[in-house]
């Protein structure tokens, strides 16, 4: 019998795949930007699990693609200010 993972267990597992430096950078984001990152990252992991759906095919892992997608989503709404802190775009 296969036990299905709950959403919370899957998110914890996906967070474990992130490097310490990435986790630190995410922690520096405002809470709303953190939510954007996590939701985008999780969605991209699911969307690009098939290598044929990735622009680079098998050259990039689904984690690498998800990482790029998530940062892109954050950067659509936020930018780094002069003080190097993330601020919401106007």
Whether 30 is covered by a domain: the verdict is: yes
CATH, residue 30: 1.10.1740.70
Exposed e or buried b per residue across 3-37, where buried means at least 16 C-beta atoms within 10 angstroms of its C-beta: eeeeeeeeeeeeeeebeeebeeebeebeeebeebb
Range of the domain at 79: 22-88
CB 78 within 8 A of CB 88: yes
Whether 8 is covered by a domain: the verdict is: no
- pLDDT tens for the chain, 90 residues long, are 545 555 555 545 555 668 898 899 999 999 999 999 999 999 999 998 888 888 877 788 899 999 999 999 999 999 999 999 999 998
Counting the structural domains of the chain, the total is 1
């Amino acid at each position: 019998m296969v036990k299905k993972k709950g959403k919370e267990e899957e998110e914890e597992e996906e967070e474990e795949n992130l490097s310490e430096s990435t986790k630190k950078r995410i922690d520096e984001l405002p809470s709303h930007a953190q939510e954007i990152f996590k939701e985008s990252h999780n969605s991209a992991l699911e969307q690009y699990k098939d290598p044929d759906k990735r622009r680079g095919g098998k050259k990039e892992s689904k984690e690498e693609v998800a990482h790029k997608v998530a940062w892109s989503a954050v950067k659509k709404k936020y930018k780094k200010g002069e003080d190097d802190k993330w601020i919401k775009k106007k």
